[in-house]
Amino acid sequence: DIYEDNAGTIWVATARGIAKLTSGADSFEIVIQSTASQAEQLDVLDLIEFNSSLIGVSASGALLQINNTNAKMIEGLEALEDESLTSAAVVGDSLFVGAVSGRICRLELVDGSFKITGSMLSAGPVIDMASDGDLLVWLDRDDGMQWSSASLEGPVSSANPLVGDSQGYYRAMAAKTHQNAWFAAGPSIVRHKDGVSDVVRLPGRGNEVRSISVDDVGNIWIGTYYGLFYALDTDFTVLE
């Protein structure tokens, strides 16, 4: 995953560990390198900043609290042990996590510990999540982009941006709003804006987009098998 925190640091999580690019630096610094015994735990699928801490969703299904030297499993979430977590997002004072089962849970800090304070079930597996003001936005593998209030009690709205040969291959989502979002789709990125979807295929035979993120300036950062790319929001042209 690729994530920019509030300090402007770009974090990149891979199967081999976690690296960061500090604002003003000209190269990435490896901050956590996984060993064979840590490989699954440190294969981080999603990163999000919550309450001044960096939170990671790992391939093992655990939630991790990450700093510059280590990644520690967050305790007290036994209710999520049987879930295969995929993604996380922050709306207001709440942290949301999504799972392959379609379950979405709202977590809040209560007396310094995470507690589940609400949940709902999406139609299909939750692939990725984002926020849009006070709305929670997520990518459902079967029904496309969905959004709902952070209470998880109101109606769920949807827009299906699946186009062409990208249908069924969405792996990740980056959303500025639920009307302006980008998706990782096989060797391509798909932009869905105001009801219209456009596809840009990345260079490189056999390439595949694994993660996608949008920064505060509007650049789209794209993690692929062949390295890191970015696209400019103004003209949606992919640059290496």
List, for residues 56-112, the tens digit of each pLDDT value: 888 777 788 887 777 788 877 877 878 888 899 999 999 999 999 999 999 998 888
Predicted local distance difference test score (pLDDT) of residue 207: 79
Mean residue pLDDT of the chain comes to 80
Nearest alpha carbon to residue 208 among 193, 191, 194, 222: 222
Of 106, 185, 118, the residue nearest 145 (C-alpha): 185
157: enclosing H helix or E strand: strand 157-159
**Whole-number percent of the chain with pLDDT over 90:** 12
- Between the CA of residue 234 and those of 87, 128, 220, what are the distances in Å? 28, 24, 10
pLDDT band at 190 (very low <50, low <70, confident <90, very high): confident
- Among 163, 207, 164, 214, which Cα is nearest to 186's? 207
- Residue 179 is predicted with a pLDDT of 76
- For residue 117, the model assigns a pLDDT of 92
- pTM for this predicted structure: 0.77
* pLDDT mean over 223-227: 80
Residue 165 has pLDDT above 50, yes or no: no
Contact in structure between 220 and 211 (CB atoms under 8 Å): no
Helix (H) or strand (E) holding 173: strand 170-177
* 3-class DSSP state of 92: coil
The pLDDT assigned to 95 comes to: 94
Four-point Cα dihedral 79, 84, 88, 92, nearest 10: -20
pLDDT at residue 169, as a whole number: 61
